Amino acid sequence: MPDAARSRRLKPEQREAAILDAALEAFARHGFADARIEDIARVAQVSKGSVYLYFPTKQALFEALVRRDIGPRVAMARGFLDAYDGPLEIALQNLADMVSAIIDSGQTPIYPRLLVAESQRLPELVDFYRREVVGVLLAALSGLFARAMTKGEIAQDDPVMLAHLFVAPVLKALMWALVFTPTEPEPFRAGPYLAAHIRLFLKGLQHA
Amino acid sequence: MPDAARSRRLKPEQREAAILDAALEAFARHGFADARIEDIARVAQVSKGSVYLYFPTKQALFEALVRRDIGPRVAMARGFLDAYDGPLEIALQNLADMVSAIIDSGQTPIYPRLLVAESQRLPELVDFYRREVVGVLLAALSGLFARAMTKGEIAQDDPVMLAHLFVAPVLKALMWALVFTPTEPEPFRAGPYLAAHIRLFLKGLQHA
Amino acid sequence: MPDAARSRRLKPEQREAAILDAALEAFARHGFADARIEDIARVAQVSKGSVYLYFPTKQALFEALVRRDIGPRVAMARGFLDAYDGPLEIALQNLADMVSAIIDSGQTPIYPRLLVAESQRLPELVDFYRREVVGVLLAALSGLFARAMTKGEIAQDDPVMLAHLFVAPVLKALMWALVFTPTEPEPFRAGPYLAAHIRLFLKGLQHA
Amino acid sequence: MPDAARSRRLKPEQREAAILDAALEAFARHGFADARIEDIARVAQVSKGSVYLYFPTKQALFEALVRRDIGPRVAMARGFLDAYDGPLEIALQNLADMVSAIIDSGQTPIYPRLLVAESQRLPELVDFYRREVVGVLLAALSGLFARAMTKGEIAQDDPVMLAHLFVAPVLKALMWALVFTPTEPEPFRAGPYLAAHIRLFLKGLQHA
DNA sequence: GATGAATGAGAGTTCATTCAT
DNA sequence: TATGAATGAACTCTCATTCAT
């Protein structure tokens, strides 16, 4: 093999990462069923057969992708929430700002849509989400609300329910961006939407 | 032809409906790409070719299905909202009760999921939804909130934004039921969730 | 049935003729395999099922078409040749003029092409052609040449061979027109071509 | 994989050739529309999918087949004609002998029939024939006749017309063999037919 | 007789996966 | 380890033919 070719060749970890990156793009653009392994391989600068060296099936590739990208983000969010000890309003606004910035910059993560779209086909993926994503984040958010109650910032309520309710407009903003933005004349802006959400939500949580 | 066979044969109007019903089941279970025309035909008690007598392509079948089932429901909801003139709380609670009853009885409509899942493939379907479903329902809800403001029931605010915010937990409940219910040990109950939503939401809308 | 509809309806012989006319157009345009019975029925102003009332299969329709159109023309040509008693040159020139007029007016009969194209599929059609068309016409032409020899107009030769040779440029002109004319910038003219053929051919037949 | 199976597997260059060979057989026997890719694959000892590795569509396979087989033969004939400087009669007789030998040995090329049969469907193929086959061969033949006139072997005439006329019985012999031979009791012999043609043709070309 | 809805075998094509190199 | 040619099951869609009306 000529040196030029060898130097262009990636190390195994890099190859796996390149495949996952290419898979993300392909699944985002076409959905699971219509994404073609051959396209993923070409974008990853790898042969079709090599994809199968790293992932035994298309489905396994999909699941590995979700696991790689979701885990760290969830851990980061959880770390922030668990460590947070300031006023509730600031925490919620920070969360909303992060999400809004991502959405309004056009980089909306496609994982929620992929989960929704493929949940029938991939029950194990659903389990993973429930355990590793939804469960963790809702628990962390619940903790946040529970502490706010302890501190008397908000009225007594079911903290888990509050977490579910707080999260709903965030999810809606994500889905909206994923579904409607490509064809929408004037795109929906997540920032003002979530700001209004927090304003109303906190007012609803005030002591009576 | 024996009588048994003849009686098994459906009338034309029934045949189209049977195909659409079977298609709904197939698309719900497998998604667009993995639903097989042959299965749809068998469930509809119809030959494979007959499906193409009524719908020129698989995609047209899918779109016809959405149009058939969505239109009347949207019209009904819109009629209720436009005609309503009572207290806001009752209206919202009625809406939530209807949605909760559907979800908690296990008949969650799969159309929202299909929209999310196939939005990349079917931009025309997205347009249809925006115009005929989302646009109509949000307008009707906005009107409801606007009238409540005029009557002084709630504080002044952007009625369109309120409609978007009110709707978020409803959508979340739908998605939750579709994605997690099949594998969840103790299913999420939409009723209490939406009740809590309305309670907080209305409190947030009170005059300051 | 309303009178208007009944009067629009054709008599059986007319219906059969209309179907055959439509079939001619369809086979000429698309070939046997790609001609669709449904299109033929529509052009003939007849239902698809009615085609099968008159012809049991697509193949039978094709064969009936050939038989209807070929027979009379062959009989006419044969009658002319058998009855002819004038100079050979005039007879040949008359034949060439008829053929040239047809070709150069753009009405080239598609039967030779259909025979060539479908000869593998339809051996019975080939038999029919050999017996009813080629055999008859070559025999009549052979007779013409034989009489010319008897009268001393041309040198002694095998009259059957002469018939075969005389016919070759006629067939070539037909095929040429069918294959190349649709895309050819300056169309091949059969008239001058066959005139040159007769000139050379007769010169070749002169007494040494 | 057992040795037997491995040895049955062909090398890449052989595979493409085997597919083309099988396609030739299939198209010759059934025509374009009725030739089945699956049959071609089986005859070529190749999977159905492999055919699409080499040719993107059935039509492309057909066109590649024609191009592969026609080009070299045309080039050879043209080379012979362009280089020839002997007496006209010998050249014509050589050509006739070659054609006769092929036809009378039962290996009549099916390309002329395929051209005739599929000319409606494949206008590009017709263009290819006009440019690469008919145009080239008629030009080369015209040159032969023109040189014969210059040398005084034959009377002055239009050399292009002579080429067209000379070629007609050759084509007729080809078509005859293709259409009638399979079912004909005593097959038509091209040899004597073309010999008679040349005899008469040259006599027609003599100086007056 | 006439209709056209209904049938279903079969075609071309795709693509996840395998495997010889 | 890496390749990409090869595989073949599975899919959508077509259309000659049938048959209930």
C59, closest nucleotide (Cα–C1'): F16
Integer Cα distance of D160 and B202 in angstroms: 95
pLDDT at D4 over 60: no
Inter-chain CB proximity C161 and D130 less than 8 Å: no
CA distance B169 to chain A (A): 5
Inter-chain CB proximity C184 and D130 less than 8 Å: yes
Could you identify the residue whose CA is nearest to the C1' atom of nucleotide E6?
B50
Neighbours of B165 (CB within 10 A): 26
Q: What is the mean pLDDT of chain D?
A: 90
CA distance B109 to chain A (A): 14
Chain mean position to CA B107: 11
pLDDT in tens, A86-133: 999 999 999 999 999 999 888 888 899 889 888 888 888 898 899 999
pLDDT in tens, A172-192: 999 999 899 877 777 788 999
Q: What is the DSSP letter of A47?
A: -
Q: What single-letter amino acid sits at C85?
A: D
For an interface test with A, the pick among B134, B184, B203, B206 (most A C-beta atoms closer than 10 Å) comes out as B203
Integer Cα distance of C144 and B149 in angstroms: 106
Could you identify the residue whose CA is nearest to the C1' atom of nucleotide F11?
B36
Inter-chain CB proximity B126 and A34 less than 8 Å: no
pLDDT in tens, D123-168: 888 999 999 999 999 999 999 999 999 999 999 999 999 999 999 9
pLDDT band of residue D2 (cuts 50, 70, 90) is: very low
Residues of D in contact with C204 (CB under 8 A): 199-204
B41 CA to E6 C1' in angstroms comes to 12
pLDDT at B85 over 60: yes
**C36 Cβ contacts chain F strand, under 7 Å:** yes
Query: CA of C203: which chain D residue's CA is closest?
Result: D204
Structure tokens, D59: 């039509």
* Unique residue bearing structure tokens 């029950």: A123
**D48 Cβ contacts chain F strand, under 7 Å:** yes
CA neighbor of A177 nearest in space, from A129, A126, A119, A105: A105
Q: Which residues of D65-84 are buried (b: 16+ CB within 10 A; e: fewer)?
A: bbeebbeeebeebbeebeeb
| Helix B88-104, helix B190-205: angle, nearest 10 | 160
Inter-chain CB proximity B196 and A172 less than 8 Å: no
- Min mean pLDDT across A78-82, B7-11, B46-50, D10-14 is at B7-11
Identify whether the C-beta of residue B88 lies closer than 8 Å to the C-beta of residue B149: no
Torsional sign, CA A169, B105, B141, B91: negative
pTM above the 0.85 mark? Answer: yes
**D33 Cβ contacts chain F strand, under 7 Å:** no
CA distance B108 to chain A (A): 14
Which bases on strand F have an atom closer than 7 Å to a protein beta carbon? Answer: 1-21
Inter-chain CB proximity D165 and C164 less than 8 Å: no
Inter-chain CB proximity C175 and D180 less than 8 Å: no
Count Cβ atoms within 10 A of the Cβ of residue D26 and give its class: 0-12 exposed, 13-18 middle, 19 or more buried: buried
A21 CA to F17 C1' in angstroms comes to 53
What is the model's pLDDT at position A1? 43
- Min mean pLDDT across B92-96, B110-114, D93-97, D151-155 is at B110-114
Q: Which of A11-25, B119-133, D42-56 has the highest mean pLDDT?
A: D42-56
Integer Cα distance of D126 and B161 in angstroms: 65
Neighbours of D136 (CB within 10 A): 18
Structure tokens, C4: 């208007």
Integer Cα distance of D148 and D141 in angstroms: 11
Inter-chain CB proximity D158 and C123 less than 8 Å: no
CA neighbor of A122 nearest in space, from A67, A174, A47: A67
Q: What are the residues whose beta carbons fall under 8 Å from the beta carbon of A89, sequence distance 6 or more?
A: A198, A202
The Cα-based distances of B92 to B153, B199, D19 in angstroms read 13, 10, 69
**B36 Cβ contacts chain F strand, under 7 Å:** yes
Structure tokens, C120: 């593998």
Neighbours of D120 (CB within 10 A): 19
Chains that touch C (3 or more CB pairs under 8 A): D
How many percent of chain C have pLDDT more than 70? 95
**B40 Cβ contacts chain F strand, under 7 Å:** no
CA distance C50 to chain D (A): 26
pLDDT in tens, C24-77: 999 988 989 999 999 999 999 999 999 999 999 999 999 999 999 998 999 999
Q: Which residues of C87-96 are buried (b: 16+ CB within 10 A; e: fewer)?
A: ebbebbbebb
The set of long-range contacts for A140-143, using a CB threshold of 8 Å and a minimum separation of 24, is A140/A77, A140/A78, A140/A81, A140/A82, A141/A81, A141/A166, A141/A167, A143/A81, A143/A82
Domains of chain A: 1-55 (1.10.10.60), 66-205 (1.10.357)
Structure tokens, C21: 């006319």
Could you identify the residue whose CA is nearest to the C1' atom of nucleotide E2?
C50
**Nearest-by-Cβ selection for D31 from C33, C199, C203:** C33
Q: What is the DSSP string of B149-160?
A: HHTTSS----HH
* Unique residue bearing structure tokens 């080379």: D79
A35, closest nucleotide (Cα–C1'): E15
Query: Phi and psi dihedrals of D199, rounded to 5?
Result: -55, -55
Q: Which residues of A54-79 are buried (b: 16+ CB within 10 A; e: fewer)?
A: bbeebeebbbbbbeebbeeebeebbe
Residues of A in contact with B183 (CB under 8 A): 123, 126-127, 130
Residues of A in contact with B108 (CB under 8 A): none
Integer Cα distance of D91 and D142 in angstroms: 13
Torsional sign, CA D94, D98, D99, D100: positive
The CA-CA-CA angle for residues A95, A101, A103, to 5°, reads 105
Inter-chain CB proximity A126 and B206 less than 8 Å: no
CA distance B112 to chain A (A): 10
pLDDT at D181 over 50: yes
CA neighbor of B116 nearest in space, from D137, D110, A114: A114
pLDDT at C101 over 60: yes
Q: What is the DSSP string of C12-34?
A: HHHHHHHHHHHHHHHHHHHHHHH
Number of Cβ pairs < 8 A linking chain A and chain B: 139
- Min mean pLDDT across B139-148, C100-109, D6-15, D161-170 is at D6-15
pLDDT in tens, C149-194: 999 999 999 999 999 999 999 999 999 999 998 777 777 889 999 9
Q: Which of residues 10-39 of A touch strand F (CB under 7 A)?
A: 12, 15
Integer Cα distance of C92 and C74 in angstroms: 16
Integer Cα distance of D123 and D120 in angstroms: 6
The set of long-range contacts for A11-18, using a CB threshold of 8 Å and a minimum separation of 24, is A15/A44, A15/A46, A15/A50, A15/A54, A16/A54, A18/A44, A18/A45, A18/A46
Torsional sign, CA A47, A51, A57, A60: negative
CA distance A13 to chain B (A): 31
Identify whether the C-beta of residue A84 lies closer than 8 Å to the C-beta of residue A91: yes
A47, closest nucleotide (Cα–C1'): F3
**Rg of chain D, C-alpha, whole Å:** 20
Q: What are the residues whose beta carbons fall under 8 Å from the beta carbon of A148, sequence distance 6 or more?
A: A88, A154
Integer Cα distance of B33 and B86 in angstroms: 45
Task: Taking residues B78-91, report their average pLDDT.
Answer: 95
**C107 Cβ contacts chain F strand, under 7 Å:** no
pLDDT band of residue D10 (cuts 50, 70, 90) is: low
Could you identify the residue whose CA is nearest to the C1' atom of nucleotide F14?
B49
